[in-house]
Each structure stands twice: as C-alpha cells, then as structure tokens.
Amino acid sequence: MVSDMLRAQVDELAARVNGEVEEHLGELELTVHYPDAIETLTSVKNFSEVPCDFLHDLCGMDLEDHLEVVYQLSSLRGPQRLRIIARVERDNPVIDSATSIWRGADFLEREAFDMFGIQFKGHPNLKRIYLWDDFEGYPMRKDYVVESHEQRAIMRVRKEGE
C-alpha cells in the first residue's frame, strides 16, 4: 500500500518536474525526462516524513525507441518505496550522475554504462566494470548481435606485462 503522504508529495513533485505517476503492484513509479533526474532524486531524498533516501538499485533498460535509467528507492526509516524512471535519448544517451547524491551509485552506474552505453555526466570513474576495456558494443541493448562462437573465434590478445 502506498501511503497518502508519499502519494501527495510525489504528485506535487511530478507537477513540478513535468513527470508521470503510475502505481504498479503497490509501488509508485515516477517517470521523468533525463534533464530533471537530479532535481527529482534530490527532492525525493528530502521528502518530509517519508524520505526515500536509500538507493536500492540502479539499472539501465532498453525500450527500442529510448533508453531508461531506473532508480529503485527505499528508506531505512520506513516502509516507503519509490521507483524513479529517467528517460534517456537513444542516439545520445547522456544523464547526470547520481554519485553526488549517493556514493553507492558509482558501481551501479558503471554497470549501466557497461551494458547499455549510458553516459553519466560527472561520474568520477566511468569505465567498463564487467567487460574488458577494449570490448566493442553494449551487449544488453536490443540491437546487439550475438554471433556464434565459431564466427567469433578470436581471442583477446595478451598484453605485455599482464
């Protein structure tokens, strides 16, 4: 169940940042566009009575015509949960980094960058986290072509001193 206090504050915020609110499986979803993401997250963190100040998870999503960054928020001080979805352009996926709000967003944003190629502006160390540095492409995007291992029978060249 979504508390009325949280709903009222989310509605008020949605009107301010021009976002859409939906309820999905007993959880509020606030969809905004990428320029408003940082403002939204900062306000959500500072909600009175029901602050959503714990970044549970951050991941990327590919919806073919645009990309999304999904922030799963909750709090250590209450049962409230909130999901913020920031829409990002597919051709130029740039969004401000949330590391200034939560330091823990560091690795999560690197993962989203690794898998979807979303550029987080202001991230202290934006490079690949799971795949190796000279990997080409972003494998979790819908248009990534997976070749069979016979076609792709190339090995990484061992670097000197590795």
Partner 1 sequence: MDVKKERELRDAEVTAEKNILRTNIEKFLNWGRVHSFWPNSFGLACCAIEMASTGGARYDLSRFGYEVFQASPRQADLMIVAGTLTRKMAPVARRIYDQMPEPKWAIAMGNCACSGGPFADSYAVVPGADSIIPIDVYIPGCPPRPESLIFGMLQLKHKIQHPSKVRLNQYGK
Q: In the complex, which residues of this chain contact partner 1 (CB under 8 A)?
A: 130-132, 135, 139, 144, 146-149, 152-153, 155-156, 158-159, 162
Torsion (CA) 4, 87, 60, 109 in degrees, nearest 10? -90
Nearer to partner 1, 24 or 152 (CB): 152
Query: Nearest approach, Cβ of 132 to partner 1 (angstroms)?
Result: 5
Nearer to partner 1, 24 or 159 (CB): 159
Query: Nearest approach, Cβ of 130 to partner 1 (angstroms)?
Result: 8
Nearer to partner 1, 117 or 139 (CB): 139
Structural contact between residues 41 and 84, judged by C-beta atoms closer than 8 angstroms = yes
- Strand, coil or helix: 34: helix
Most distant pair of Cα atoms in the chain: their distance:
61
Nearer to partner 1, 1 or 153 (CB): 153
Query: Nearest approach, Cβ of 112 to partner 1 (angstroms)?
Result: 17
What does DSSP assign to residue 79?
A: S
Q: How far is CA 89 from the centre of its chain?
A: 13
Structural contact between residues 94 and 51, judged by C-beta atoms closer than 8 angstroms = no
Query: Nearest approach, Cβ of 28 to partner 1 (angstroms)?
Result: 36
